[in-house]
A and B are shown apart, each in its own frame.
Chain A
Amino acid sequence: MVKFSILDHKLVPGHIILSGDEAKKVLKAYRIESGQLPKILDKDPVIKAIGAKPGQIIKIVRKSGSAGETISYRLVVDSKVTLTKI
């Protein structure tokens, strides 16, 4: 029973689903494959709230003590599949 959207909580940083093009751009900028990104489980409350699906890339904008604001990316993974399978 969700009484409020967790996305509105001040401690939850902004999570944005990247479009296919944006995701490609990010992967190209870092010269990596999606599997080399940090992961986030699809059963993570925020992922459920924004409705991201496994395989999509999430952009997270956090407040940072050293940089003010920092951007990171995570790959949504299927929580039912063990990590070795990815």
Chain B
Amino acid sequence: MIPNQAPRKIGWMEFGLLSPEELRKLAVTKIISADTYDEDGFPIEMGLMDPRLGTIDPGLRCKTCGQKVDACPGHFGYIDLAMPVIHVGFAKTIKNCLANTCKECGRLLLTDGEREELLQKMKSGLEGSRLPKQVALKASKAANCPHCGIKTSMIDSDKPTTFRANGRKLIASEIREWLEKIKDEDLPFLDINPKTARPEWMVLTVLLVPPISTRPSITLQSGERSEDDLTHKLVDIIHINQKLQENRDAGAPQLIIEDLWELLQYHITTYFDNQTSGIPPARHRSGRALKTLSQRLKGKEGRFRSNLSGKRVNFSARTVISPDSHISVNEVVVPIEIARELTLPVRIIPNNLEAMRELVKRGPNPQVPNEYYVPGVNYVIRKDGRKLKVIEKDAEELADRLEMGYVVERQLMDGDIVLFNRQPSLHRMSMMAHMVKVMPNKTFRLNLSVCPPYNADFDGDEMNLHAVQSEEARSEAEVLMKVQENMLSPRFGGPIIGALHDHITGCFLLTYKQRKFSMSEVTQILSAIDYKGKLPKVKVDKQCGKWISGKDIFSLLLPKELNLEYRATCCAKCEVCQKRDCPNDAWVVLRDGRLLQGTIDDKSIGAFKGEILAQTARRWGNKAACQFLDKITRMGIATLDVLGFSLGIDDEDIPSDAKNQIKETLDKTRKKIENLIKAYEDGNLEVLPARSPEETLEMEIMRATGQGRDLAGEIASRSLGMDNNAVIMAKSGARGSMLNVSQMAGCVGQQAVRGERISRGYLNRTLPHFKPGDLSAEAKGFVSSSYKSGLTPTEYFFNSMGGREGLVDTAVRTSRSGYMQRRLINALEDIKVKEDGSVRDTTGSIIQFQYGEDGVDPSKSVFGDAVKIDDIIKEAMEGE
């Protein structure tokens, strides 16, 4: 093993080219045969699979270094090319060299004066990176070589590897000779370091053959060997190289030699990069493009992004997710099958020896009566590092052999800390620590409240789970990554984990105005949260008998010292707020942990808004907030269980006089639009400033249709009161909005594409159902029906057009913002906040003197502000 594995600083790094001599020295053998194996299946000496190039066979030792597969790094071979060939990777540099030097004397196309001037600039270190450009600028102007007076040639290239001087094609050997003439002193002007490279080395005469471990062949089940793409490519190269050599030695006509030479150039070019523009990619027999050297490294699936920046890991699991509203947000349900596979290492110490013996005795698949799961042990690691698989047969014997220093790989059990993740991992809440709960069935199950941070739903989403292996990592995960520690968002200082949908509806129904709950109902609700303690005040009246107010039931969960006053989501936004006398019960007053008035909805407990959640987390800690959340969600569900809650088609029924009213308003709107069109056609339309008459008409019509829809919606919602389930959800902020309700019951309204009325389709009309040039509401995408009443075919089509635009927009937005985020992350990834509050990069240079200029951690702020001074003053005043 490496004796010292401590990180070390890289002193310097050098980039350069290898000379043909160095290449030969690097190689262990010359490769002359294009064949890989002989008839007996043995590798051919000096062939592409020469045993000296290293071994991939686990049984064999390498013929060069004598090591086995895992220790032998592989060794290079080389091919002597019959004719020199351009290296594609350096085509640009070669062109630059040719363009700036003289064909005859190989000197820079600069006068001594110009050269001296640039040399001075170079020495002073000024404009360092712009220098080669300046050379090119000056050199390209020279018509004749300033040194030998020869006329300079214009260099251009049509294909990546062919160069023309004044239109005449330069062959590779010519180029190599030319490059050889360039003097070392001139190289810095061409951006080449003469200490590490010579320009002629960019024209290959020797090709390095990578070791077998770089291009392993695979044996198929049929016993047939399948070679790597690189080997295929090398076979081609050797074939052509051989042919070229034979033809040249036999004195074949120039034409044939040139053809073969070009073919060799093609093969070597595609061997380096099979996606060179202007060159057809080399293909496999099946038609698939070969994956050659450059393709192995480049891009998302390349070595860098796929294998070095990111890796596959052990001790992880992945499966479909589904909801479970009975577990805590801190928990995750793990299927038994997965729990049996994932293990945690436990080191044997005196205190756990006996317990571990018991565990090992159970074997890898213990079945205990009346228990659906008990953890077993998959492996035992001896002191010498040998890993022993535990099988049922010898589990007992193995248990007896346990002693200090052994490590037992125990299966996952309830209470273990694991990391849970859903891709794309866009923020730190995409990976949080959960406590394991092992249960039957095959999905991971999570509490609904943690869906927003993961952005998860249950339409087939899968998530990953990682069993954290070391004690240190586990405690770190528990302190920093547990769900409860991430309740307050680092984005805006409010909760991102909170109640949603039904939980909010439930709490809303529980606390809205003075709902009475009978004793049996109260029992049912309170048993859902395992409540133990005193009941709230029981009231009696003639109609209902003994009852308890919903507000009092909810108050049981509140921290005892909680004092808050705010406006709920169901606030009607009256012109003058009546505060405590709010007719909608939207002014929430919490006093000493009791809900005195107001309704609990999205604003109180919801994700993103939840005032009570935020306040609890800040004052009583994350654990308290988490327990509070677990309880209110269960209470919300229990309330809905008691009261019942559903949404059906008849929830959007409105009385017939309301329907008539809507029809009237829509007729009025239509009339208004007709008048507008008439006025426009007569030229009487009052044109808005800086608008054309057409634009004015469109804007006026849009306004009219908007008004029409709003009026229709208003009429519809007037007949749908707080006893309507859709309205309850909209007002409480649980799901949907009043716009959705009015679209269902009243009128869907104007459909728009790109913010304008629908105008595309046929010539001068949207659909063949209308006359060309028809500007009326119906012809341009106004949907006067409601979703309940049903849409006409044309309306349906317009509605779909509007909907499609939304879909396309989201698709475009996600891909674009994803790329933007990737670039931002790459730019900012190693910037961090130091102990003194300054923001610095890895070199210790200061980016920001105080984080965010005020040094406030947004996750500890109050919805963005460091402190809410008004609330503090209020509290202090009340305390007196």
Contacts and interface: CB of A to CB of B under 8 A. Distances in A.
Contacts of B852: 66-67
Interface in A70-86: 70-73, 80-82, 84-85
Contact of B126 (A65, A66, A72, A81): A81
Contact of B846 (A36, A70, A85): A36
A73 to B, nearest CB: 7
A67 B128 contact: no
A82 B844 contact: no
B843 A73 contact: no
B849 A71 contact: yes
A80 B125 CA distance: 10
A69 to B, nearest CB: 9
B846 A64 contact: no
Interface in A27-86: 30, 32, 35-38, 64-68, 70-73, 80-82, 84-85
A1 B109 CA distance: 42
A38 B847 CA distance: 7
A37 B853 contact: no
Contacts of B843: 36
Contact of A30 (B836, B853, B856): B836
Interface in B46-89: none
Contacts of A35: 845
Nearest to B845: A36
B844 A32 contact: yes
A66 B125 contact: no
B846 A82 contact: no
B650 interface: no
Contacts of B371: none
Contacts of A70: 849-850, 853-854
B646 interface: no
Contacts of B846: 30, 32, 36-38
A36 to B, nearest CB: 4
Contacts of B855: 67
Given A81-B126, A82-B129, A85-B125, A66 B854 contact: yes
A58 to B, nearest CB: 13
A27 B514 CA distance: 65
Majority-rule SS of B interface residues: loop
Given A30-B838, A82-B125, A82-B129, A36 B844 contact: yes
B127 interface: yes
Q: Which of B129, B840, B843, B845 has the most CB of A within 10 A?
A: B845
Nearest to B855: A67
Nearest to B130: A82
Contacts of A67: 850, 852-855
A30 B125 CA distance: 30
B131 to A, nearest CB: 11
Nearest to A70: B853
Given A36-B844, A81-B126, A82-B127, A66 B856 contact: yes
B863 to A, nearest CB: 14
A30 B684 CA distance: 72
A36 B856 CA distance: 23
B854 A64 contact: yes
Residue of A30, A68, A80 with highest tally of chain B CB at under 10 A: A30
Contacts of B845: 32, 35-38
B126 A82 contact: yes
Interface string B569-613: 000000000000000000000000000000000000000000000
Interface string B534-546: 0000000000000
Nearest to A29: B836
A64 B128 contact: no
Given A36-B843, A36-B844, A64 B129 contact: no
A38 B836 CA distance: 17
Interface string B364-388: 0000000000000000000000000
A36 B391 CA distance: 61
A68 B847 CA distance: 19
Nearest to B861: A66
Contacts of A30: 836, 838, 846, 849
Given A32-B844, A36-B844, A64-B854, A81 B849 contact: no
Interface string B833-875: 0001010100111111110111110000000000000000000
21 contacts: A30-B836, A30-B846, A30-B849, A32-B844, A32-B845, A32-B846, A36-B843, A36-B845, A37-B845, A37-B846, A38-B846, A38-B847, A65-B853, A67-B852, A68-B854, A70-B849, A70-B854, A82-B125, A82-B126, A82-B129, A84-B128
Q: Which 6 A-B pairs have the closest CB atoms?
A: A67-B854, A36-B845, A70-B853, A66-B854, A67-B853, A64-B853
Interface of B: 125-129, 836, 838, 840, 843-850, 852-856
